[in-house]
Amino acid sequence: MGAGTPALLRLFNGYWSGWRRYADFGGRSTVREYLSFLIINASVGFLLAVLGERHELFAGLKWIYACAALVPGLAVTVRVLRALLGTGK
């Protein structure tokens, strides 16, 4: 992504990169990718929690989303720690 790319687009690109490499515990990720994944996951979780208070469907979706995001979240965390600590491949 170039310097002229809008910030919101860079945020979503980092988020989607975390999902695309969901089971890749090797390699490295940038801090931007990690923070993008963290911020958007927290936002989606909060939104589903608030909506879940009003509608039963959203309460179920909140748990499904939380379970689905668990492995990609762990993978991006491992990759960014590897990049920051300078270990691994």
Domains: count for the chain:
1
Residue 42's pLDDT is: 94
Phi, psi of 55 (to 5 degrees): -130, 130
Segment 20-72, tens digit of pLDDT: 988 888 888 899 999 999 999 999 999 999 999 998 888 899 999 999 999 99
Predicted model pTM: 0.81
Summary count for the chain: helices (H), strands (E): 3, 0
Domain around 39: 7-85
pLDDT in the model for residue 88: 64
How buried is residue 21: exposed, middle or buried, by Cβ count under 10 Å (0-12/13-18/19+)? Answer: middle
Distance, CA of 66 to CA of 50 (rounded, Å)? 14
Per-residue pLDDT of 5-25, as tens digits, reads 788 888 888 889 889 988 888
Task: Determine, yes or no, domain membership for 1.
Answer: no
